[in-house]
Structure 1
Amino acid sequence: MSNTYLSDTYVEETRFGFWFLRSHTWQHHVLRVAINDLRGLFSEAPPANPVLLDVGCGQGKSFQYLQQVFAPARLIGLDADPHSLKLSGEEAQRRGLEVELIGSDCASLEVPSQSVDILFCHQTFHHLVQQDRALAEFYRVLKPGGYLLFAESTEAYIDTWVIRWLFRHPMHVQKSAAQYLEMIRDQGFEFTPRNVSYPYLWWSRAKDFGLLERLRLKNPPPVGQREETLVNLVARKPLGGLAE
């Protein structure tokens, strides 16, 4: 793994975490499920032939699903880890996809203002130390009327012994689902409850990974009566919203 990153605040992943991000479980049960869920959260049809930016693209395992679901005219992958970008390039080539790759810190995106139709941020934000700056950058690079696709694990999941043991995260910036939504709204993005989901997936239940529910020994608690472990959101930059 590389020890040279394009961000001064980059938190290096563990060896297990780096391996997991190329696993079938990550691709099939995490990425694929999240992208399909996000597609269902749009209030209207997504932009046709969009410029789609995947921030924190990692090893590029999202590319095939983003291509299938959104059919972008341009697909851009961005990451602060040069080694991950190299693997992303290999993944795009293996899938026969044209993907532009950019090495950049999310808090200072090397992307022109108002140039992106859809910005995909999947399980990246909880890795970022400068979250306010990154969110302002997301807003800047989106076109007026452009969409932020935000899929994130919450503090309730990140701050468990299993996750702290296997992965590495900046713990002082972790947030609840409600805090993430408030932060995104405060940045100027617009969304309604129709555009938000709270997946309660087996892998996000660090205590028992949903085993008791799969064995039908108990029912999952409903929304509002549980501490959310995941939040998915489709938020829109207002049509009159200018870059900041």
Structure 2
Amino acid sequence: MSYLSDDYVEETRFGFWFLRSHTWQHHVLRVAIKDLRGLFSAAPPANPVLLDAGCGQGKSFQYLRQVFAPQRLIGVDADPHSLELSAEEAARQDMTVELVGSDCATLSVPDASVDLLFCHQTFHHLVEQEKALAEFHRVLKPGGYLLFAESTEAYIDTWVIRWLFRHPMHVQKSAAQYLAMIRNQGFLFEDRNVSYPYLWWSRAKDFGLLERWGLRRPKPFGEREETLVNVVARKPLEGGA
């Protein structure tokens, strides 16, 4: 397979299958988009231009339409086969989606042309993370929003995830490190714009079974190592506001 990124880390067969499963769509994508919508301090832009960075097989499209009603939806991915599947998914959902073959570190998208940039479970696949984040900042309009939802190193670097999936392990980060990277790029957000979902599938050691069976008490926020972080971060308006 010829990918559109020199640093692309090819997914396992299981991983590629999982990204079109009901579990992925219903328990991961749908939940993340709903959570991100609740992290806005103000109403999101009406009829936005929305870019899905790392759109994969297009399973996010229907949920992004339901929640944000974009007037224009752009899907970007570095895997040509995934883009073919995204086109099929858009047709199945009777949606018009502009699909772009591009590395997130070199987005083929004009400056200041996007209102909302959705990056869900994509960043931990990227080797050139700083460049990708700079590209996200570049293509967003002043006042536009980055919708960032990511698994942390505490989740990615577990035996079950390393066994089933494939990731560039040397770039994995903690929740705090991801938030610092986003802030250092010039995005603005407050504590109320951040969440740390503690979902059953993100507890890779036992998927929450011991807690569900009453054999272990769940660790409260502040005493556990976070496996997920979601943030809605805003690109400042001209003049820094």
User: TM exceeds 0.5?
Assistant: yes
2:114 aligned to which of 100, 109, 116: 116
Native 8 Å contact 1:107 1:134 kept in 2:
yes
Equivalent runs, 1:64-83 vs 2, <5 Å: 64-83=62-81
1:103 to 2:101 alignment: yes
Q: Distance in 1 between matches of 2:216 and 2:42?
A: 37
Q: What is residue 170 of structure 1 aligned with on the other side?
A: 168
| Amino acid corresponding to residue 61 of structure 2 in structure 1 | F
Q: What is residue 35 of structure 2 aligned with on the other side?
A: 37
1:158 aligned to which of 136, 156, 159: 156
Native 8 Å contact 1:77 1:102 kept in 2:
yes
1:60 to 2:63 alignment: no
- Residues 89-109 of structure 1, C-alpha deviations (whole Å, 9 max, x = no match): 000000111110000000000
Q: Distance in 2 between matches of 1:237 and 1:219?
A: 40
Indicate the RMSD between aligned Cα atoms, in angstroms. Answer: 0.9
Structure 1 runs of 4+ with >4 Å offset: none
Q: Distance in 2 between matches of 1:202 and 1:155?
A: 17
2:83 aligned to which of 82, 85, 109: 85
Q: Distance in 2 between matches of 1:241 and 1:167?
A: 43
Gap runs ≥5 in structure 2: none
Identity of aligned residues (%): 83
| Amino acid corresponding to residue 35 of structure 1 in structure 2 | I
Q: Distance in 2 between matches of 1:134 and 1:56?
A: 11
Residues 29-38 or 213-222, more deviating: 213-222
Residues 113-122 or 203-212, more deviating: 203-212
Q: Distance in 1 between matches of 2:48 and 2:211?
A: 40
| Amino acid corresponding to residue 122 of structure 1 in structure 2 | H
What's the offset of the Cα at 1:241? 6.6
SS at 1:17's partner residue? helix
SS at 1:199's partner residue? coil
1:202 aligned to which of 200, 203, 219: 200
SS at 2:189's partner residue? coil
SS at 1:75's partner residue? strand
1:140 aligned to which of 138, 141, 165: 138
1:27 to 2:25 alignment: yes
SS at 1:144's partner residue? strand
- Residues 54-88 of structure 1, C-alpha deviations (whole Å, 9 max, x = no match): 00000000000000000000011000000000000
TM-score (structure 1 length as normaliser): 0.97
What's the offset of the Cα at 1:223? 1.2
Equivalent runs, 1:179-198 vs 2, <5 Å: 179-198=177-196
| Amino acid corresponding to residue 57 of structure 1 in structure 2 | C
What's the offset of the Cα at 1:222? 1.2
What's the offset of the Cα at 1:156? 0.3
Gap change, CA 1:72 and 1:119, over 3 Å in 2: same
SS at 2:75's partner residue? strand
Q: Distance in 2 between matches of 1:46 and 1:216?
A: 40
Q: Distance in 1 between matches of 2:193 and 2:168?
A: 28
2:212 aligned to which of 189, 200, 214: 214
Q: Distance in 1 between matches of 2:145 and 2:220?
A: 28
- Residues 154-179 of structure 1, C-alpha deviations (whole Å, 9 max, x = no match): 00000000000000000000000000
- Residues 10-68 of structure 1, C-alpha deviations (whole Å, 9 max, x = no match): 00000000000000000000000000000000000000000000000000000000000
